[in-house]
Amino acid sequence: MSASFYEYLRTIQMGESILIEYKPTEPLHMIFNKVLEYAKQNNSKILIIDILDTFHVIKEHLKTCNLDTETLDKLDVIKGGGIINVGHVLKKIDISKEPPIYISEFAKFLEEYYRQNKNVVVVILGADKLTRVYLTEVPTLEMNIGLLLKKFLGNPSRVAIWFVNTGMVPQKLLIEWEEISTRVLEIALKGKKQFVIKIKKSIKIEDHGKEFIVSAEEVLYSEV
Amino acid sequence: MYKTLNGFLEKIKPGEAILVEYSSLDHPELLFYSITRWAKEKEFPILIHDILDTFHIFLTHLKLSGFDVSFLEKNVYVIKCGGSTPIGNIIRKARLYEDISIYSKEVREAQIEFIQQAKRKPVIVLVLGVEKTFNAYENQPMAVEYFFEVVIRKFLGNPQRIAFLFGNPHLVTPEIEAELKECMTKVIKVHGYGKKIRIEKSTWLDEIGTEVKV
């Protein structure tokens, strides 16, 4: 990672909720890998919230590049819906129930997890799909994941990183989501081998609008 | 880096799912034809999901352009999903407008069975008219999600097949398009009305932006 982006990441404090926005054609698997790298460098305990098999999609995408997926299999995972187990699955939550029900199940699990584990980086994959499924209701964030977002915001045991495919989420909902988040990062591929990471929102106002270029080189598929 | 379509096809790994995007004024059947010719040369079994007669539309356009499609009429296997014009060796009819769980089950079972019996792998699966499945369940987001879950994402990574999904993205909602593209290992877009393709997304970053002639 570039030195300045790494310096920026080191300013993240426990209790923060970070939103990572990407478009559907962006290489999600690589962005995820970078986030894992950050968590490991932090010596954090990693917890994956895997909604509707998004973790499986990322793992398969990494496999097509001949990238290592063994570390993924060892990570703690709590599943929301989906049928494919990836990682060390601690609990499965049924998301076909009413949102208030499954939200409270998530909350209960997380409360306990944060009691037993400190310095956690929780990575939430596929929450954007949750918002889509209940779109027949009034599509506010409050209806589904808003409660979760707000409940743990500020909890010093963890940093939460939410991945959002902006194509899947209506603008109004995205705006609410950005409002609750302490930081909003927009990630896009620039050319073929670099990411541009734009800081849309940050704790320090001076960081707003900053852009970092991060090389994708070290995770590149090499031609054999 | 490869310079031809066959070069691109050779690089695809078993388990990948590739979306082919085109618009109503394009000729995606040219790419379809080239892929099936490549599969035939390699002796990979070809399985077609024919949704609402899209296979018939593709074949008719090809015939009118002077292509020899006899092997497509005789040597490919078909899961027929709705529609009324039967072509190819139909191994199963899947009821598109029934309950989504019935439709999904029929599609899954037919595919699994075919893959198990196939003498050579990977099986090349071509889904024609993928947007039509989504439109059939447009007002039921949970049904669409269910289909993603038990068919599209479930088969992703299955090393016994490679799937090409042909679809006109203008016919689905942006959210469904976004969810589909996220899941795909590659997204290619038809250019020059069908004469070229451009790689818009790939898990292999190097090939993004590459154009090849069909």
% of chain A surpassing 90 pLDDT: 60
What dotted CATH number matches A3-219? 3.40.50.11570
Q: What angle in degrees, to the nearest 10, is found between the helix axes of A28-41 and A54-64?
A: 100
In a domain, B153, yes or no: yes
Give the model confidence (pLDDT) of A84-108 as tens digits. 999 999 999 998 888 888 888 999 9
Closest residue of chain A to B179, computed from CA coordinates: A168
Q: What is the CATH number of the domain that holds B160?
A: 3.40.50.11570
B-facing residues of A in 11-40 (CB < 8 A) are: 23-30
Residues of chain B with Cβ-Cβ distance to A59 below 8 Å are: 157
> What is the Cα A29 distance to its own chain's centre?
11
Is B185 within a domain? yes
Q: Taking CB atoms and an 8 Å cutoff, what residues of chain B touch A61?
A: 185, 203
Q: Give residue-wise pLDDT tens across range B55-101.
A: 999 999 999 999 999 999 999 999 999 999 999 999 999 999 889 99
ipTM (interface predicted TM): 0.92
In a domain, residue B1? The reply is no
Q: What's residue B13's pLDDT?
A: 96
A142-163 mean pLDDT: 84
DSSP reduced 3-state for B44: coil
- Asked whether residue B91 is domain-assigned, the answer is yes
HEC string of chain A? Answer: CCHHHHHHHCCCCCCCEEEEEECCCCCHHHHHHHHHHHHHHCCCEEEEEEECCHHHHHHHHHHHCCCCCHHHHHCEEEEECCCCCCCEEEEEECCCCCHHHHHHHHHHHHHHHHHHCCCEEEEEECHHHHHHHCCCCCCCHHHCCHHHHHHHCCCCCEEEEEEEEHHHCCHHHHHHHHHHCCEEEEEEEECCCEEEEEEEECCCHHHCCCEEEEECHHHCCCCC
Angle between helices B54-64 and B28-42 (to 10 degrees): 90
User: pTM for the full model?
Assistant: 0.92
* B8, part of any domain: no
pLDDT of residue A142: 67
Model pLDDT, residue B102: 93
Chain A closest-CA separation from residue B53 CA (Å): 29
Does A1 have pLDDT greater than 60?
A: no
> Is residue B165 within 8 Å of residue B20, measured between CB atoms?
yes
Which amino acid is it at A187? I
Residue A63 · residue A205 · CB < 8 Å? no
Residue B42 domain boundaries: 13-213
Q: Which residues 84-103 on chain A approach chain B with CB closer than 8 angstroms? A: 84, 96
Q: B203, A192: Cβ pair inside 8 Å?
A: no
What pLDDT is recorded for position A224?
A: 28
3-class SS of residue B201: strand
- In total, how many domains does chain B have? 1
